[in-house]
Amino acid sequence: MDFKLAWEELKRRAGSAVDRRLLSSGVAHRALLLARLGNTSDPSMPVSGEELAAALGVSRAAVHKHVAFLRELGLEIKSSKGIGYRLISSGDDLLAAETVAPYLLALQDPAAGPVVGLPYRYLKECSSTNEMLKRAALGAPPGTVLVTDRQTAGRGRLERSWFSQPGKDLTFSVIFHPCLLPAQAHLLSLAAALAVAEVLEKLLGRLDVVKIKWPNDVLLAGKKVCGILLEGSLDTDRLQWVIVGVGLNVNSDPALLARGIADKRPDEWQGKPAPVSLRAFASKHFPSEGLPRAPLLAALLTRLGERCGPLAGETLAGAAFLEEIRARDALAGREVEVLAGSYPSRVLVAGKAAGIGAEGQLLVKRASGGVTPVFAGDVVVRAPGHWEGC
């Protein structure tokens, strides 16, 4: 755990999150305890119970209780009588609130505005994070996230299923209250895809391999690494709330993901990009045990907040962020078919993808010469070898 924020500042932010009821004090204390243990100048040196108690402003008995709780979450903390506590493994791949909160608080200050990612809810297993968060949507403050390690009925767009390898990938949903008209919902998809793409570019240190397949798939060297599912509710003529569900293949085996897909409706996937995980793509750069998911999740939530949080319809059309989408457009210049509805779907329009319009619509140039703007649909590329070079 190394999140480069002064201890006093981290403590202030945790306190501020507790005051705003974004974190419970128990989670805040355990998150701080972990941060203190993980961020010592020499991680092999134990930190005494007395020092931890003083740093957190709690009793030594409370420290003991919190350590027991953290161990139950799966963290390995060694204690030696009369000497202190030592963190054996960072816990950075665990997705409990305690392991993610220090990273979130290092990136976002609750005193400065809503924190995307707080309140933070984690379930070891659930049907679908989108489905579960939808049920709680009315009472959930914007920025609330629901994260799980395993979805039993993960959903994709157009009534497809979404497959992730339990405990290996990221599957989560965030609620936003954007100031958008229903017809502008696709802009939120694009903004979310852009946020994910930007985080991946930073992580991989490469700008050339990450692309966006309109409206909301993120591709890595032509393969799908992330899917995004938006579900919302209308309030008269405005979007009341929108849930942005993100499935990011982090450490999974792409062969397993592909099998999950093919077992369903094989022909449905023709012309769609094959799955890939970050680890499979960049195994050279990441430790063999995989890429730690907690800091990655905090970075994704933060960027999603920066891209989707301030969305307001009036300022969006033709906005600068569309230039960022165009720069990453995986479809530009390809022969495409836009399909409508769920499987088996009919072809809405076919032609050459000709970029992204001022309202975020996909432009398709038909063989007859005219250009059709597409605001919703599913795009497939029919040519052989279609995704190579994306």
Interface residue list for ligand BTN (CB under 6 A): 128-130, 151, 154-157, 160, 162, 171-173, 217, 227-229, 245-247
Tokens 């570019």 correspond to: 201
Q: Please, what sign has the CA dihedral across residues 357, 361, 362, 367?
A: negative
Question: Judged by CB, which is closer to ligand BTN: 164, or 361?
Answer: 164
Cβ neighbors of 291 (< 8 A, separation 6 or more) are: 250, 251, 278, 279
- CA dist list (Å): 355 to 22, 138, 157, 238, 332: 41, 37, 22, 27, 5
Taking each continuous run of H as one helix and of E as one strand, the counts in the chain are 12, 14
Q: How far apart are CA 269 and CA 161, in angstroms?
A: 12
Q: How far apart are CA 296 and CA 200, in angstroms?
A: 9
**DSSP states along 256-270:** HHHHHHHTT-GGGGT
Q: How far apart are CA 186 and CA 312, in angstroms?
A: 13
User: Inter-axis angle of helices 49-56 and 25-38, to 10 degrees?
Assistant: 130
Question: Judged by CB, which is closer to ligand BTN: 75, or 218?
Answer: 218
Q: How far apart are CA 49 and CA 366, in angstroms?
A: 70
Q: How far apart are CA 21 and CA 41, in angstroms?
A: 32
Question: Judged by CB, which is closer to ligand BTN: 5, or 250?
Answer: 250
Question: Judged by CB, which is closer to ligand BTN: 84, or 247?
Answer: 247
CB of 133 to ligand BTN, least distance (A): 8
Q: How far apart are CA 304 and CA 248, in angstroms?
A: 13
CB of 244 to ligand BTN, least distance (A): 9
Question: Judged by CB, which is closer to ligand BTN: 119, or 275?
Answer: 275
Question: Judged by CB, which is closer to ligand BTN: 56, or 96?
Answer: 96
CB of 151 to ligand BTN, least distance (A): 6
CB of 38 to ligand BTN, least distance (A): 28
CB of 126 to ligand BTN, least distance (A): 9
Question: Judged by CB, which is closer to ligand BTN: 163, or 286?
Answer: 163
CB of 128 to ligand BTN, least distance (A): 3
CB of 217 to ligand BTN, least distance (A): 6
